[in-house]
Copies of this chain bind each other. A is one copy, B any other.
Amino acid sequence: MKSFSILTSIFLVLISPILIHTADIDFSYTGKTGPIYWADLKGSNEICRTGKQQSPIDITHEKFNTFSKPDSVTFDDAKNVEIVNDGHTVQVSNKEQILPATMKIGNEDYELAQFHFHTPSEHLINEEYFDVEAHFVFQTKAGNLSVIGVFYDVSDEQNDFLKPIVDNLPLKKNDSHLIDFIKLSKVLQDIDYMNQTYTYPGSLTTPPCGEGVVWWVNTIVQPISLSQYRQLRHVMGFNSRFTQDIYF
């Protein structure tokens, strides 16, 4: 990437205030509460329209040419996790420290706060999208955020990490299911320990669209079976924000 380095990202993390978390804003992906109206919804969402570091983006060869990664990342397997359908996505949150995954950027220590999914992918690579995108949302104690994005494309292979998730999908809004075991350690192995990842300074991709989020978009597209993809897509529907302007 031309103008964004690991130093910049450390700087951003250090100067960014505590971020507002995704509140219970009544947003959607279609109609009068859809992405172009998010800035007008109740709450402090103006940045959804006026922000200069909004996500997702189209990651192009012109802007991005150097892989980058955090100083360290660890993912361990998770037991007895709850998956919730919040009406926008299906999400596993780190209640009671059940998600043993960490990240370090400079001196800042992050823990995995939650992960969730989008169909189709929110980020594009050279104007091409992928069938699914997972977001692993890490957070410091001060509330700073960093997200790892992982792409999935339909393939002949089933995905082992996704299997217990798809097998336990909460079908309706506010439904939740308990999952015995998620092979979370497999994610890092699948994405080759983030050796082919682009980073940029962005935002939450849902209202309130808070900025100062350090993004790591992995380019090693993972397999997902057709059945797994269809089930995820059917439960979430279209939940992908359009790509945002780039100012760096």
Q: How far is the CA of A203 from the CA of B34 in the complex (A)?
A: 19
Select A128's contact among B126, B229, B233, B245, beta carbons within 8 Å.
B233
Q: How far is the CA of A32 from the CA of B247 in the complex (A)?
A: 11
Find chain B residues with CB under 8 A from A245 CB. Answer: 31-32
Category for how many chain A residues contact B:
20 to 34
Q: Does A64 contact B (CB under 8 A)?
A: no
Q: Does A112 contact B (CB under 8 A)?
A: no
Q: Does A202 contact B (CB under 8 A)?
A: no
Task: Mark contacts of A24-45 with chain B using CB atoms, 8 A cut-off: 1 yes-contact digit, 0 otherwise.
Answer: 0000011110111000000000
A221-248, CB < 8 A from B:
226, 229-230, 233-234, 237-238, 242-243, 245-246
Q: List 17 A-B contacts (CB under 8 A).
A: A30-B58, A30-B243, A31-B243, A31-B245, A35-B242, A36-B242, A120-B120, A120-B129, A127-B237, A127-B238, A128-B233, A128-B234, A128-B238, A129-B238, A153-B230, A154-B229, A226-B226
Copies in the complex: 2
Shortest CB-to-CB span from A58 to chain B, Å, is 4
Q: How far is the CA of A246 from the CA of B31 in the complex (A)?
A: 7
A contacts, CB < 8 Å to B: 29-32, 34-36, 58, 119-120, 124, 126-129, 153-155, 226, 229-230, 233-234, 237-238, 242-243, 245-246
Q: How far is the CA of A234 from the CA of B127 in the complex (A)?
A: 9
Select A238's contact among B35, B36, B124, B238, beta carbons within 8 Å.
B124
Find chain B residues with CB under 8 A from A234 CB. Answer: 128
Shortest CB-to-CB span from A242 to chain B, Å, is 5
Find chain B residues with CB under 8 A from A119 CB. Answer: 129
Shortest CB-to-CB span from A243 to chain B, Å, is 5
Shortest CB-to-CB span from A135 to chain B, Å, is 18
Shortest CB-to-CB span from A28 to chain B, Å, is 8
Q: How far is the CA of A242 from the CA of B34 in the complex (A)?
A: 9
Find chain B residues with CB under 8 A from A246 CB. Answer: 31
